[in-house]
């Protein structure tokens, strides 16, 4: 390569020649500006991860009756149409609270923990043994026997409830897959998130046909679009999808395209507060 004798030539130990400092006085701010613009562009072009909340500022105390099936849950009397609200219970990190739940099954308790919620779902993250207080007076609840609603096949994505409901945002899709699998191994309740033609989403808690945890059998199918055939049941205020190990099916190419990105997209606006909710399923 030719260059004129006068062209600036840089040798580290001799320092930057004068002719080059003007060049670098422009180049350095230019590169820094590019960093700034890329960062701005990247940050504002991200997608919303919905309206999930994980409140670490003020612990919440809730009183109700402990149930263990299909997952640890605190059933709290309410004046809604079902006469109760069911709050899922999980431990710190990706750890279950199954032992505690079994120990206190059927007991009336006051539980303190971090409140997690999204759409119609509520969850409490129990922080330690001191968070559990036995109530002197028993709480009475309406009947929670299982009512069968419909057998159906749905297309959607399995998520782990703890992350999806607010602890991780976003808590779904491929980048979150290792975490979702780890959460299911730690007995976080799996939820099958589906979307309808309007893009509205619903989540069905998943359980085995014997109404026990489906977390373990869901692990290989988590965080990707699949179809599931199962029975939708209602227990109290909870809509639950009963499945067995043969319930999972892969999508063919056309179905996958129709489903769209594996990230089950959710349009969040301040008014809608996120439209993740229970879409009623026709019988």
Partner 1 sequence: MSQGYVPVQWNSDKKKYDLYLWLGVILYIVVFMGVSSAVFKGVAALSPAILLIRAFGSCAFLLLTMVLCIGPLARLDKRFLPILYNRRHLGVSTFLVTLIHGIIVTVWYNGFGVINPFKSLVSAHHDYGSLAQFPFEILGIAALFILLIMAATSHDYWNKNLGPSVWKSLHMFVYIAYGLTIAHIALGALQTDFTGFLPIMGFLSVLIVGALHLAAAFRENRNDLYLDRDEGVNIGHVNIGPWQTIENNQAITVAIDKNEKVAVYRYDGNKLAAISNVCKHQLGPLGEGKVIDGCITCPWHGYQYRPDDGQSPPPYTEKISTYHVSLDGDDMLLDPNPLPEGTARPVTLIPNTDKLTAEANAS
Beta strands per DSSP E along 84-224? 84-90, 108-118, 121-126, 132-134, 146-160, 190-195, 201-208
Can you tell me the distance from the alpha carbon of 135 to that of 60, in angstroms, rounded to the nearest whole number?
A: 16
Residue 79 burial class via C-beta count within 10 angstroms: exposed 0-12, middle 13-18, buried 19 and up: exposed
Q: Which of 25, 30, 35, 105 binds partner 1 (CB under 8 A)?
A: 35
Q: Which of 13, 57, 137, 283 binds partner 1 (CB under 8 A)?
A: 13
106 binds partner 1 (CB under 8 A): no
Q: Which of 25, 28, 102, 142 binds partner 1 (CB under 8 A)?
A: 28
Q: For residues 66 and 74, is the Cβ–Cβ distance under 8 A?
A: yes
Can you tell me the distance from the alpha carbon of 225 to that of 202, in angstroms, rounded to the nearest whole number?
A: 14
| Segment 194 to 253, residues that bind partner 1, using CB under 8 A | 222, 224
Region of 59-67, 79-87, 99-107, 166-174 interacting with partner 1 (CB under 8 A): 166-174
Q: Which of 123, 181, 217, 233 binds partner 1 (CB under 8 A)?
A: 181
| Backbone φ, ψ for residue 78 (5° rounding) | -150, 160
Q: Which of 30, 61, 95, 212 binds partner 1 (CB under 8 A)?
A: 95
Q: Which of 25, 36, 135, 210 binds partner 1 (CB under 8 A)?
A: 36
Which of 188, 193, 204, 279 shows the shortest CA–CA distance to 238?
A: 204
Task: Give the total of residues touching partner 1 (CB under 8 A).
Answer: 71
The nearest distance, CB 156 to partner 1, in angstroms, is: 15
44 binds partner 1 (CB under 8 A): yes
């Amino acid at each position: 390569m030719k260059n004129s004798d006068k062209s600036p030539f840089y040798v580290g130990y001799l320092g930057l020649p004068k002719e080059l400092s003007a060049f670098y006085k422009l180049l350095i701010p230019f590169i820094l500006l590019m960093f700034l613009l890329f960062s701005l562009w990247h940050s504002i072009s991200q997608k919303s991860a919905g309206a999930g909340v994980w409140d670490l500022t003020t612990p919440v105390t809730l009183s109700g009756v402990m149930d263990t099936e299909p997952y640890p849950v605190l059933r709290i009397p309410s004046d809604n149409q079902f006469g109760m609200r069911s709050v899922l219970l999980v431990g710190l990190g990706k750890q279950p609270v199954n032992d505690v739940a079994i120990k206190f099954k059927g007991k009336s308790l006051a539980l303190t923990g971090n409140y997690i919620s999204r759409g119609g779902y509520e969850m409490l993250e129990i922080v330690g043994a001191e968070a559990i207080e036995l109530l002197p007076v028993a709480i009475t609840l309406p009947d929670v026997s299982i009512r069968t609603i419909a057998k159906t096949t749905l297309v959607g994505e399995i998520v782990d409830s703890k992350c999806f409901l607010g602890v991780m945002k976003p808590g779904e899709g491929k980048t979150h897959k290792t975490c979702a699998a780890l959460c299911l191994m730690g007995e976080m309740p799996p939820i099958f998130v589906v979307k309808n033609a309007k893009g509205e989403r619903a989540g069905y808690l998943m359980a085995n046909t014997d109404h026990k945890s489906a977390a373990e059998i869901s692990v290989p199918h988590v965080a990707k679009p699949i179809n599931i055939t199962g029975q939708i049941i209602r227990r109290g205020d909870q809509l639950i999808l009963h499945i067995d190990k043969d319930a999972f099916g892969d999508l063919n190419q056309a179905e996958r395209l129709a489903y769209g990105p594996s990230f089950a997209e959710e349009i969040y606006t301040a008014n809608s507060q996120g439209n993740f909710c229970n879409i009623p399923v026709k019988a």
